[in-house]
Amino acid sequence: MAQRGFTVKKSWDNPVEHAMPADAWVPAEVRIGTVTVRPATVLAPMAGVTDTVFRRFIRHASLFSTSHYAAGALCPDSETGEIKAPGIDSAITNLQSGCGLLMTEFTSADGLSRMRESKRRRYLTFYEDEHPIAAQLFGSNPDTLAEAARIVQDTGFDTVDLNLGCPAKRVVGCNGGSGLLRDLPRIQEIFQTVRSVVTIPFTVKFRLGWNDSQIVCVELAKIAEGEGLNAVALHARTREQGYTGQARWEWIAAIKQAVSIPVIGNGDIRTPEDAAAMIAKTGCDAVMIGRAAPGNPWIFRQIAQYTATGAYDRPTVEDRYRMIRGYFKMLLEEAEACQDQPRDARLGETSGKMKQFASWFTHGVPGGAKLRAAIYQQKSGAAVLDQVDAFFTHPMETGATVDEIPQSALFNGFDPALACD
């Protein structure tokens, strides 16, 4: 049984350590309607996390160049930049080598249809370097969801996604998220209504069912395919589980056998090995990653590296410094850039977001607890950045890398209470 309130757990329950399969890779690409996702990896929508700054941060952190290739691994063509993954016919390029599809924070269709245009910008703003990008909606009224989906399409998003997975009480209480899993006829009506008003690819993310006695995921996937949706994503837990226990990947495999549209697998992917193991065990077309991304923003690059070369890099503590500093600078620059916008479209003070991110990102860094304590005392984003610089500019004597740190240490600070991976 999930914890009361269904907040997201900070760590995994006895996570299974997967070895890298000898003959399975995350596909180099997957086609979702008219949109090519290259490689076949997706950043899961997480409330309070996947704003435009974090999405762009992940996208840039995901890119890798020839200098990152392991010795003896395959190299890109000198003219085209294309690389062939071991055993995979499709090619990926350096410019599209990390997270294949970004997704927004999940957004209320009711709120989106009512709010002023200026406020919508906070929820639907994205930059050209975020393509392809999907907007995820939740709600229970077919007409309202259709209107919100039309707004998403008119704003320029590449795809629109329906959230049927969030277990949060405040969402389920409105019959949204995983609350709708108890009403398949209503879901089918939503599919029909939204599909009738948008031409961009339409996808859905859902769970196994409300509880173990109400597993509906295979039937739901068939309904989605029948109503013209372009892909389905399964978080392989029930609503009752919340984020506890093991994700049951066998249901991802069952859906893959039941439908012909692309199937995206989600749940318990913490490492490139996990991603490849999910592909090997389920045959799914793509993988979606949520909770692991804030603790290890390199995971998409690592998956892409393995797909392309058969090996992947592990970041050093110095890499962590560069990464956290880069993200904090992006936050400050974004806040400065939006000061001329209407008040309800501006970003708030960045120090809170920095503190949230630092708690995820500095676990495993020697002396990280001292840095977190210093950061939490600061009142402004600039002061937080000064503390980061002061901490990391000291000589790094350990040279510790992420793979030398227990996986549990990397995620103990992650507290995405509203995340929906």
Q: Which of 99, 166, 284, 420 is catalytic?
A: 166
The kind and range of the H/E element at 170 are: helix 169-172
Q: Cα separation of 20 and 272, whole Å?
A: 8
Q: Cα separation of 221 and 293, whole Å?
A: 26
Of residues 365, 368, 360, the one with CA closest to residue 10: 360
Tell me whether residue 284 is one of the annotated catalytic residues.
no
Phi, psi of 234 (to 5 degrees): -115, 120
Of residues 36, 58, 97, the one with CA closest to residue 285: 36
Of residues 354, 346, 305, 347, the one with CA closest to residue 329: 354
Question: In the structure, how many helices (H) and strands (E) does the chain have?
Answer: 16, 13
Task: Give, in degrees to the nearest 5, the angle at Cα 128 between 123 and 134.
Answer: 50
Of residues 290, 288, 298, the one with CA closest to residue 326: 298
Q: Cα separation of 109 and 112, whole Å?
A: 5
Task: Check: CB of residue 136 under 8 Å from CB of residue 161.
Answer: yes
**What count of Cα atoms within 13 Å lies in the side-chain half-sphere of residue 32?**
31
Q: For residue 211, with 0-12 CB atoms within 10 Å meaning exposed, 13-18 middle and 19 or more buried, which class applies?
A: middle
Per the rule left: phi > 0, alpha: psi between -120 and 50, beta: everything else, 27 is beta
- Amino acid letter at 85? A
Task: Check: CB of residue 357 under 8 Å from CB of residue 327.
Answer: yes
Close Cβ partners of 129 (under 8 Å, ≥ 6 residues apart) = 56, 59, 60
Of residues 346, 357, 340, 288, the one with CA closest to residue 48: 357
Task: Check: CB of residue 1 under 8 Å from CB of residue 403.
Answer: no
Rg of the Cα atoms in the chain: 21
Q: Which two tokens stand for residue 179?
A: 């609350």
Residues belonging to the active site: 166
